[in-house]
């Protein structure tokens, strides 16, 4: 070993020699061989500084995620992971040894013991294996729903007005048919006065949104919205043995709806942000959230939506939540978000096309100075190897380290269906969320109004008009309300606070940075 190589390994050993609790990621490499005496680690207290796990398909991202989830659980930290392909379900089953695996672990100096971890399985609306989870339409909000429906800026603004109207009128939006009913009412003869009072909402735009919702419903999306709504506090559980519970959201059955599941994950984060108290810097995070296939979240996102993501990532750290985006290249993540990801695990990249080469060059520029030729190294890394840099306990970047990652101790393949079925059947969440509830909400409320409305020819001027809220308001009300709403929506509905009484559970609603419902219990 040359003097410069020895010096580089010494720098890595010193740079990753943390005093506090840490995750063991792997060991440094030199000359193609692992160096067991030079561990590469990640401080547990820095996990809420967020991170990125990137690399081409088949380079070992999933196994890295698995190793990190295992070690977090062992140290009492709950974990959430979106299981796009079903690969992560192996966390619930002890690993299986073989000669190849044991040869690798021995070379790393890893004491490998097959271990199963406490795991919960969830599924969106019961599509696939797992306890079904849902969100109410009121809670999901207009900004995230616009992303799912692919609405343009004008349509998103109009959808924000519709949600505002429902909030103010106490029209509970639980599922898709509730929102459809509100739009149908506003565009009907009975709702003309209310539609006009909203100012910025045209009947034509309302019709476009309604058609989008009907198409969305025809695709089976009804199952994803409704009650009982998932309480994100259920992601923060620690078992009786002190291990953090790993929650896997199983998504193979909805792979053909990438906008839906990626946006649903953002709803989970927004809800956590609303509910969790400030904790500042803690010895370990309350939850670490792995956002797989992260590029789907950012694809075709509006500037307002990206701004909201950036703000959520920036602020949720103080709530004790760490977010790790998992994707193929750093360029999949906007610069404003990437700048907040202090922990980096970069697996191999391919450079088969000019675009690949450009992505490689851009990736190299995102790393601190190192003694490696990173353009060469990143294209020659073996499976299960990565280039790593993290934040030290003082918050400074550690030296860039060519690392061979540790092997997971749980099963490196999907768990058996029977195992998942047993876990789901025994889960305390099954009784809580297993059966959908369809109680009275906007759909039923508006139908009652329509049924109670007198026929036009029999209309009595002295009789009450239950078909619509009273049209008579204080002199300034029609002027002030549209002006306020237009101003809010045009600057992004998520930056306002829209209050209402008599909503989904009779609680006050404050719409947050994503337009999601902040519920004051």
**C-alpha distances in angstroms, 55 versus 91, 159, 169, 325, 347?**
21, 37, 49, 12, 4
Do 360 and 334 sit in the same domain of this protein? yes
Residue 353 located in a structural domain: yes
Do 444 and 396 sit in the same domain of this protein? no
Do 170 and 267 sit in the same domain of this protein? no
- The sign of the dihedral angle between the CA atoms of 71, 74, 77, 81 is positive
> What are the helix (H) ranges across 170-294?
176-186, 192-197, 203-218, 258-275
* pLDDT at residue 455 in the model: 58
State the Cα angle at 454 between 450 and 458, rounded to 5°. 155
Do 60 and 105 sit in the same domain of this protein? yes
Spatial separation of the C-alpha atoms in residues 167 and 173, rounded to whole Å:
9
Residue 231 located in a structural domain: no
Q: In terms of residue numbers, what domain contains 50?
A: 3-118+239-426
Structure-token match 């353009």, residue found: 375
- Taking the mean position of all CA atoms in its chain, how far away is CA 378? 28
Residue 35 located in a structural domain: yes
Spatial separation of the C-alpha atoms in residues 265 and 259, rounded to whole Å:
10
Residue 124 located in a structural domain: no
Do 403 and 268 sit in the same domain of this protein? yes
Structure-token match 């100075």, residue found: 369
Instruction: Please write the tens of the pLDDT for every residue from 413-458.
Output: 999 999 999 999 999 999 999 999 999 999 999 988 877 766 555 4
Total domain count, the chain: 2
Of 406, 426, 446, the residue that ends a domain is 426
CATH code of the domain covering residue 247 = 3.40.50.300
Do 95 and 148 sit in the same domain of this protein? no
61 has pLDDT over 60: yes
Average pLDDT over every residue of 283-304: 85
* pLDDT at residue 495 in the model: 35
Do 396 and 264 sit in the same domain of this protein? yes
Do 325 and 421 sit in the same domain of this protein? yes
Residue 447 located in a structural domain: yes
Residue 400 located in a structural domain: yes
Do 62 and 111 sit in the same domain of this protein? yes
* pLDDT at residue 2 in the model: 64
| CA-CA-CA-CA dihedral for 505, 511, 512, 518, to nearest 10 | -10
Residue 77 located in a structural domain: yes
Residue 230 located in a structural domain: no
Do 418 and 450 sit in the same domain of this protein? no
Instruction: Please write the tens of the pLDDT for every residue from 68-123.
Output: 999 999 999 999 998 888 889 999 999 999 999 999 999 999 999 999 999 999 99
Q: What is the residue-averaged pLDDT of the chain?
A: 85
Do 251 and 341 sit in the same domain of this protein? yes
Do 410 and 505 sit in the same domain of this protein? no
Single pTM value for the model: 0.85
- The SS3 assignment for 174 reads coil
């Amino acid at each position: 070993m040359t003097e410069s190589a020895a010096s580089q390994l010494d720098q890595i050993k010193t740079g990753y020699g943390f005093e506090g609790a840490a995750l063991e990621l792997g060991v440094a490499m030199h000359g193609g061989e692992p160096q067991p005496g030079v561990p590469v680690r990640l401080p547990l207290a820095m996990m809420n500084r967020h991170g990125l796990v990137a690399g081409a398909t088949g380079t070992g991202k999933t196994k890295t995620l698995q190793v990190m989830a295992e070690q977090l659980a062992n140290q009492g930290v709950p974990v959430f992971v979106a299981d796009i392909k079903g690969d992560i379900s192996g966390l619930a089953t002890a690993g299986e040894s073989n000669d190849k695996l044991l040869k690798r672990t021995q070379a790393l100096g890893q004491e490998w013991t097959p271990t199963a971890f406490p795991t919960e399985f969830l599924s969106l609306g019961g599509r696939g294996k797992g306890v079904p989870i849902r969100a109410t339409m009121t809670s999901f909000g207009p900004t995230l729903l616009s992303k799912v429906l692919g609405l343009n800026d004008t349509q998103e603004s109009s959808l924000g007005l519709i949600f505002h109207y429902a909030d103010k009128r106490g029209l509970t939006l639980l599922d898709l048919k509730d929102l459809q009913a509100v739009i149908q009412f506003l565009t009907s003869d009975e709702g003309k006065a209310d539609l006009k009072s909203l100012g910025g909402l045209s009947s034509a735009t309302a019709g476009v949104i309604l058609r989008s919702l009907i198409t969305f419903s025809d695709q089976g999306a009804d199952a994803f919205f409704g009650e009982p709504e998932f309480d994100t506090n259920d992601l923060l559980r620690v078992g009786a043995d002190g291990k953090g519970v790993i929650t896997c959201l199983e998504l193979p059955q909805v792979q053909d709806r990438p906008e839906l599941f990626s946006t649903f994950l953002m709803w989970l984060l927004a809800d956590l942000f609303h509910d969790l108290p400030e904790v500042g810097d803690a010895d370990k995070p309350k939850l670490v959230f792995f956002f797989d296939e992260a590029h789907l979240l950012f694809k075709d996102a509006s500037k307002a939506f990206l701004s909201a993501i950036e703000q959520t990532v920036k602020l949720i750290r103080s709530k004790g939540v760490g977010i790790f985006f998992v994707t193929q290249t750093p360029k999949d993540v906007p610069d404003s978000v990437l700048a907040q990801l202090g922990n980096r695990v970069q697996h191999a990249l391919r450079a088969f096309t000019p675009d690949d080469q450009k992505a490689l060059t851009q990736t190299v520029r995102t790393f601190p100075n190192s003694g490696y030729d990173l353009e060469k190294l990143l294209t020659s890394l073996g499976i299960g190897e990565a280039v790593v840099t993290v934040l030290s306990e003082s918050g400074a970047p550690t030296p860039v380290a060519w690392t061979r990652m540790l092997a997971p101790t749980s099963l490196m393949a999907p768990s058996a269906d029977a195992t998942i079925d047993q876990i789901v059947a025994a889960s305390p969440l099954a009784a809580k969320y297993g059966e959908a509830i369809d109680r009275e909400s906007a759909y039923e409320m508006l139908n009652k109004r329509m049924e109670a409305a007198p026929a036009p020819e029999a209309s009595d001027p002295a009789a009450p008009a239950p078909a619509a809220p009273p049209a008579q308001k204080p002199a300034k009300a029609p002027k002030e309300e549209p002006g306020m709403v237009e101003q809010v929506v045009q600057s992004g509905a998520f930056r306002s606070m829209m209050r209402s009484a008599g909503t989904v559970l009779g609680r006050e609603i404050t719409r947050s940075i994503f337009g999601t419902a902040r519920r004051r219990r």
